[in-house]
Amino acid sequence: MAQREQANVPLLLTIGGVSGFLIIVLAIGIQAWFLREVQREVAQKWDTTPLQPITDIKRQQETNISTFRWVDKDKKRVAIPIDDAMRIIAQQNQATAPATQQAQK
């Protein structure tokens, strides 16, 4: 009669356990890699995308300080560019500085 071979149960259980453990480790690793890539992508988008409201406010402020415009047309008040205003103030101070220095002596 032919002998019937028995399956090596401990070996099969060991191979099954190790395979199951490796599948779990692989799934956790893939999930961690995916989440890291998502985080990197989001960070890259936040770093390169300008915040539109802030950009608009900055552009409006630069326009306000660099152009002539009416502040109050009824009272005939005009805003002038800041560079021109600084130049005018410096000229006024130069004109009044010699008189002030002579009065102090």
- 67 DSSP assignment: S
Q: Tell me: the pLDDT tens digits for 84-94?
A: 999 999 999 88
pLDDT of residue 1: 53
Q: Tell me: the pLDDT tens digits for 11-69?
A: 999 999 999 999 999 999 999 999 999 999 999 988 877 778 888 899 999 998 999 99
Give bridge partners of residue 72 from the DSSP assignment. 77
Taking CA atoms, 42 is separated from 32, 35, 36, 54, 103, in Å, by 15, 11, 10, 20, 67
Tokens of 41: 């992508």
Q: Note the Cα 89 to chain centre separation in Å.
A: 38
Q: How far apart are CA 77 and CA 30, in angstroms?
A: 66
Q: How far apart are CA 83 and CA 8, in angstroms?
A: 91
